[in-house]
């Protein structure tokens, strides 16, 4: 039951009035309930390519239409192969319905069924009480929650051009990190987007139960809205030596500036409270860094070379 790792891109439909393109979407309504998802679709697969771990099409609950995909217990491991892509910006979006057994999914830098190889980019866990936690860059985190037995929005954004990843829950960004880090230990990994894996476990390592619907993979063909909003943020010089200058939009009174090294570690964290502020980088070793500026709800990230 091996499936190709490249999408058919049969939709390829540009979203009106935006700079995004839908590469893939599935609401499971064309499938027969109680049969497998990958069994009925060439665009889904399972962790090891076998039917034994396929997710089931369910008519019990659905966000749109009549069906969803049911992810129940650790015998279920449904995979959505993606690309693999090594450049561009991509949003993985889906609706999720969480029961009191919890749930889990991950997104991967690398994945194949034969030979079975993989590299994790991010793990997201859901507890029996709706608590949401994650592991990104090899480090655990989490400070949000969702309601049980209700549909909510999940989004993972992989900005491969900037080497940044973002987690959104119900439209709120709850975490960001250096995408390419190997999530197993935080060491440098592959700056690639290759798969999303829906595995039927939970935050305690037991059997989970949840449903997914309206799954989408969207490619941004331009800049994100948040980047457009933050376009007036400037930083210079680049390359830099002793000082990095940050200029905020005239409408912003403050911003949080974080500098990440190549391993995704925060090496500087500064609260900027003036329109233009100089940040001392004299103690940082030469290399390529990611500077992330958070201005209210606007987020801006840029690569900076320190000599």
Q: What is the pLDDT of residues 39-78, one digit of tens each?
A: 999 999 999 999 999 999 999 999 999 999 999 999 999 9
Q: Is residue 184 part of a domain?
A: yes
Both 171 and 191 in a single domain? yes
Lowest mean pLDDT among 24-28, 136-140, 200-204, 222-226: 222-226
Listed ranges 33-42, 176-185, 222-231; the one with the highest mean pLDDT: 33-42
Q: Is residue 57 part of a domain?
A: yes
Average pLDDT score over the chain? 87
Note whether 28 and 212 are within 8 A (CB): no
Q: Is residue 7 part of a domain?
A: no
According to the 3-state scheme, what is the secondary structure of the chain? Answer: CCCCCCCCCCCCEECCCCCEEEEEEECCCCCCCCCEHHHHCCCCEECCCCHHHCCEEECCCCCCCCCEEEEECCCCEEEEEEEEECCCEEEEEEEEEECCCCEEEEEEEEEEECCEEEEEEEEEEECCCCEEEEEECCEEEEEEECCCCCEEEEEEEEECCCCEEEEEECCEEEEEEECCECCCCCCECCCCEEEEEEECECCCCCECEEEEEEEEEEEECCCCHHHHHCCCCEEECCCECCEEEEECCCCCCCEEEEEECCCCCEEEEEEECCCEEEEECCCCCCEEEEEEEEECCEEEEEEEEEC
Report residue 80: phi and psi, to 5°. -105, 100
Last residue of a domain, one of 220, 244, 273: 220
The 10 Å Cβ neighbour count of residue 138 is 17
* CATH code at position 30: 2.60.120.200
Which has more pLDDT, 107 or 1? 107
pLDDT at 128 over 60: yes
Both 233 and 142 in a single domain? no
Both 277 and 209 in a single domain? no
Residue 229, pLDDT score: 45
Residue with tokens 């057994």: 101
Both 145 and 292 in a single domain? no
Both 172 and 284 in a single domain? no
Q: Is residue 4 part of a domain?
A: no
Residue 211, pLDDT score: 98
Q: Which of 116, 95, 128 is nearest to 198 (CA)?
A: 95
pLDDT at 15 over 60: no
Last residue of a domain, one of 220, 237, 262: 220
Q: Name the domain count of the chain.
A: 2
Q: Is residue 5 part of a domain?
A: no
- Spatial separation of the C-alpha atoms in residues 100 and 148, rounded to whole Å: 7
Question: How confident is the model over 132-137, as a mean pLDDT?
Answer: 96
Residue 279's beta-bridge partner residues?
Answer: 244
Both 152 and 255 in a single domain? no
Structure tokens at 140: 């655990």
Q: Are strands 298-306 and 266-272 parallel, antiparallel or unpaired?
A: unpaired
Q: Is residue 214 part of a domain?
A: yes
Q: Is residue 241 part of a domain?
A: yes
Q: What is the pLDDT of residues 264-299, one digit of tens each?
A: 677 888 888 888 889 999 999 998 888 888 776 677
Last residue of a domain, one of 220, 250, 276: 220
Listed ranges 66-70, 181-185, 245-249; the one with the highest mean pLDDT: 66-70
Question: How confident is the model over 232-241, as a mean pLDDT?
Answer: 87
Q: Is residue 291 part of a domain?
A: yes
List b or e across 198-222, with b for residues whose CB sees 16 or more CB atoms inside 10 angstroms: bbbbbbeeeebbbbbbbbbbbbbee
Both 186 and 282 in a single domain? no
Both 141 and 191 in a single domain? yes
Compute the Cα dihedral for 221, 170, 9, 199 and give only its sign: positive
Residue 225, pLDDT score: 40
Both 173 and 257 in a single domain? no
Both 78 and 126 in a single domain? yes
Q: Which domain holds residue 238?
A: 225-306
Both 209 and 133 in a single domain? yes
Both 82 and 169 in a single domain? yes
* CATH code at position 278: 2.60.40.3080
Residue 16 CB partners (closer than 8 Å, separation 6+): none
């Amino acid at each position: 039951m091996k499936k190709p790792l490249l999408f058919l891109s049969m939709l390829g439909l540009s979203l009106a009035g935006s700079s995004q393109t839908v590469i893939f979407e599935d609401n499971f309504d064309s499938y027969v309930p109680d049969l497998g998802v990958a069994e009925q679709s060439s665009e889904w697969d399972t962790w090891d390519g076998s039917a034994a771990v396929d997710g089931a099409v369910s008519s019990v609950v659905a966000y749109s239409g009549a069906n969803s995909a049911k992810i129940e217990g650790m015998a279920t491991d449904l995979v959505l192969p993606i690309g693999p892509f090594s450049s561009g910006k991509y949003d993985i979006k889906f609706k999720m319905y969480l029961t009191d057994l919890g749930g889990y999914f991950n997104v991967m830098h690398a994945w194949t069924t034969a030979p079975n190889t993989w590299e994790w980019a991010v793990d997201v866990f859901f507890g029996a009480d709706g608590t949401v936690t994650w592991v990104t860059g090899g480090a655990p985190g989490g400070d949000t929650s969702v309601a049980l037995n209700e549909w909510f929005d999940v989004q993972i954004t992989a900005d491969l051009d900037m080497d940044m990843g973002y987690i959104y829950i119900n439209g709120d960004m709850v975490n960001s990190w250096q995408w390419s880090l190997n999530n197993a230990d935080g060491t440098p990994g592959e700056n690639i987007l290759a798969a999303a894996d829906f595995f039927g476990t939970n935050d305690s390592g037991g059997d989970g139960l949840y449903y997914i619907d309206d799954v989408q993979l969207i490619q941004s063909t331009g800049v994100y809205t948040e980047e457009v909003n933050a376009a007036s943020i400037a930083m210079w010089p680049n390359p830099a030596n002793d000082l990095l200058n940050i200029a905020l939009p005239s409408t912003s009174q403050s911003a949080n500036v974080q500098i990440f090294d190549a391993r995704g570690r925060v090496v500087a964290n500064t609260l900027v409270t003036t329109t233009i502020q100089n940040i001392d980088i004299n103690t940082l070793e030469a290399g390529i860094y990611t500077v992330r500026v958070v201005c209210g709800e606007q987020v801006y990230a840029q690569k900076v070379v320190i000599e």
